[in-house]
Amino acid sequence: MNDKIQVGIIGGAGYTGGELLRLLINHPFVNVSFVQSNSQAGKPVWTIHSDLLGDTDLEFSAPADADDELDLDVIFLCSGHGASHTFMAEHDISDDVAIIDLSADFRDEHDDFVYGLPELNRDRIAEATRIANPGCFATSIQLALLPLAKAGLLQGDIHVSAITGSTGAGQALVPTTGFTWRNNNVSIYKAFTHQHLAEIRQSLTQLDPDFGKAINFVPYRGDYTRGIMANVYTPFTGTIDEAKDLYQRYYEDHPFTHLSHMPIDLKQVVNTNKCLLHLEVHDGQLLITSIIDNLTKGASGQAVQNMNLIFGLPEETGLRLKAVAF
């Protein structure tokens, strides 16, 4: 590309905004035009995202300042659930400007938004200008199940237990994210009622319209900061070799989802845009372990992956990141 993609970020002071900045200021085909924040306007970006000290001279702009700078190629919406609806209602954004929303506001694909899971909708994303980025738990769980749905092999109930780090709850300090509560502690929350269940079912029925089984999802809060491990099991009548072949064929053209023949652990994916999968067959049940970083593949990295697809770039551009495995 001769001209850089001009990017604006709305709501850039949170975790997803910080991760986007970390990725985009190092992206070879991007220029970050502005980063808006209601709470941090006028401050240098590095005073909030201290890991960016020395990497950027950007300052947070106020909403009115950002409103004057909407002559862009793409806008990332990072202001949280509900705020994206408000932003879209209050601004007349040209169809020539891509919108990538990291909230839950448009994941049901209304108002011409396309659900932005590349391993499911890559061709649709490449033709779209409105993208609803998936949820983090939803990304990990869907990537564990898409090959089975595509093959029509979801024949029984699905059981999921998944644990996430504290950054999955956002930057606002609440009792269950503080160190004194979270350290050396594990807890269940939103069992069987988590908001990501709707988008998981939406994707599975997109591939298999007859799927109607229960998805029994128990989420856990973990005593660490980044990463999701989802353990998913469901009835399966084939062999382990047949399962591996099914998954390898589904993901062979997808650069970030990989099947491991050895047991996996979270440090293999933290700070990356990867999803790693591991399969086991036990007494007629297929166990799929799926791991991602909730802030990269589960949020900002996937958003950049979607941007790359929209602008005709290789999906991996700016996303070849090293895991912090030790």
Q: Which residues are marked as active site?
A: 136
Cα separations in angstroms, 143 against 16, 35, 81, 276 = 21, 31, 23, 9
Tokens of 54: 């020395």
Which residues are CB-neighbours of 36 under 8 A, at least 6 positions away? 8, 9, 10, 11, 12, 60, 61, 62, 63, 65, 66
Stated length of the chain = 326
Within its chain, how far is the Cα of 91 from the centroid?
Answer: 25
Residues 257, 87: Cα–Cα separation, whole Å: 33
| Residue type (1 letter), 121 | N
Residue with tokens 């602008």: 311
Tokens representing 152 are 């029509």
| Cα Rg of the chain, angstroms | 19
SS3 17: helix
Distance spanning both ends of the chain, measured CA to CA: 36
Task: Give kind and range of the element (H or E) at residue 181.
Answer: helix 179-182
